[in-house]
């Protein structure tokens, strides 16, 4: 399982370097994201094995604290809506709620569990206080799904459902850019999108069609996109991770991005942790995938690290359980 993760993340880094060399691109952003996820996953595995309850609790508190104290999460032009900073804030709140719920499911004392469930609820309330409607909805959804996960006995079907949900959300920007949505649903979706976002997605799809093999090169979307050039505060991204991968790294980049998500779901499927813990993490990470599909949440290092930490926490084998099993 870990070997597969190393191969997938390593392939993402190597392919970014190859396409950058071929197209004079700038792979630093992709390499930083890969490094952030890998480092977060390693930290999560270690801390989850040593402190299966305290570690996710600390991760949840860190995520909420970072959201409150550093509302922009990163320097640069502040972009509203789920396109930029607002989407990253919502993603971080969803990950924090998932970590708090994982800690609650791992707690054994009733008082500890109640306190951790209250922490998860407080995270939802924090999103509301911060004015993040999307973050509040995502955090509340993670909390409700986590409570429902306690009734699930076999996680295979649930994990498959999460994979299907991630695929459907990922297909949305492609369908919008292609104009392939049915008339009524299409009008609803495009009505809630800005013309700039739809234009960015269209530019990314056009670049992907022109060079499906290698793409235009990592970091080059901003200088080649006509829509980005017209924006008053351009950030050089199409605000969709799958479309950005297709435009800048070709078909292989999209396949590797999907492989990374599938690897995380497979790791959760095979996780030694309890089913509610694995499914809670899966719901949180699927929510992140949704934000990444229609925004640039993965461009924020804090979000990438948080995703890796949560995946590591939910797939770690607690040492106390290992010791109990050997004693038995």
Q: Tens digits of per-residue pLDDT, 48-89? A: 999 999 999 999 999 999 888 876 554 444 444 434 456 888
Residue 197 CA, distance from chain mean position: 20
Q: What is the mean pLDDT of residues 296-313?
A: 94
Q: Which of 169, 50, 30, 44 is nearest to 98 (CA)?
A: 44
Out of 2-11, 54-63, 165-174, the most confident range is 54-63
Query: What percent of the chain has pLDDT above 90?
Result: 64
Task: Give the residue extent of every domain in the chain.
Answer: 2-327
Q: Which long-range contacts (CB under 8 A, 24 or more apart) does 123-126 make?
A: 123/60, 123/63, 123/64, 123/93, 123/96, 123/97, 124/97, 126/64, 126/67, 126/68, 126/93
First CA to last CA across the chain, in angstroms?
26
Q: What is the mean pLDDT of residues 187-200?
A: 69
Cβ–Cβ < 8 Å for 328, 57: no
Tokens 């690290």, residue located: 305
> 10 Å Cβ neighbour count for 324?
10
pTM over 0.75: yes
User: Is 27 a residue whose pLDDT tops 50?
Assistant: yes
Cβ–Cβ < 8 Å for 283, 162: yes
33-47, 171-185, 188-202: the lowest-pLDDT one: 188-202
């Amino acid at each position: 399982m870990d070997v597969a993760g190393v191969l997938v993340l390593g392939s993402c880094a190597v392919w970014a370097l190859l396409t950058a060399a071929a197209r004079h691109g700038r792979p630093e952003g992709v390499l930083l994201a890969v490094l952030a996820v890998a480092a977060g996953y390693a930290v999560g595995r270690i801390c989850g094995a040593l402190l299966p309850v305290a570690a996710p609790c600390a991760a949840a508190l860190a995520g909420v604290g970072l959201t409150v104290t550093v509302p922009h999460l990163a320097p640069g032009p502040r972009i509203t809506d789920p396109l930029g900073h607002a989407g990253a804030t919502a993603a971080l709140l969803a990950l924090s709620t998932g970590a708090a719920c994982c800690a609650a499911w791992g707690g054994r004392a009733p008082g500890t569990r109640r306190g951790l469930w209250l922490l998860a609820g407080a995270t939802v309330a924090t999103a509301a206080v911060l004015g993040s409607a999307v973050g509040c909805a995502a955090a509340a959804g993670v909390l409700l799904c986590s409570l429902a996960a306690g009734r699930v006995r076999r996680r295979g079907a649930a994990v498959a459902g999460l994979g299907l949900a991630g695929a459907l959300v990922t297909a949305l920007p492609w369908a919008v850019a292609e104009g392939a949505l049915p008339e009524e649903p299409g009008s609803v979706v495009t009505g809630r999108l800005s013309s700039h976002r739809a234009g960015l997605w269209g530019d990314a799809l056009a670049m992907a069609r022109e060079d499906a093999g290698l793409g235009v090169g990592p970091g080059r979307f901003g200088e080649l996109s006509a829509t980005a050039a017209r924006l008053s505060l351009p950030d050089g991204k199409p605000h969709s991770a799958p479309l950005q991968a297709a435009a800048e790294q070709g078909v292989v980049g999209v396949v590797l991005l999907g492989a990374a998500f599938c690897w995380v779901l497979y790791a959760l499927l095979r996780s030694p942790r309890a089913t509610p813990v694995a499914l809670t993490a899966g719901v949180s990470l699927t929510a992140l995938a949704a934000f990444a599909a229609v925004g640039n949440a993965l461009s924020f290092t804090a979000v990438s690290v948080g995703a890796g930490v949560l995946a590591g926490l939910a797939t770690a084998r607690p040492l106390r359980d290992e010791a109990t099993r050997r004693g038995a």
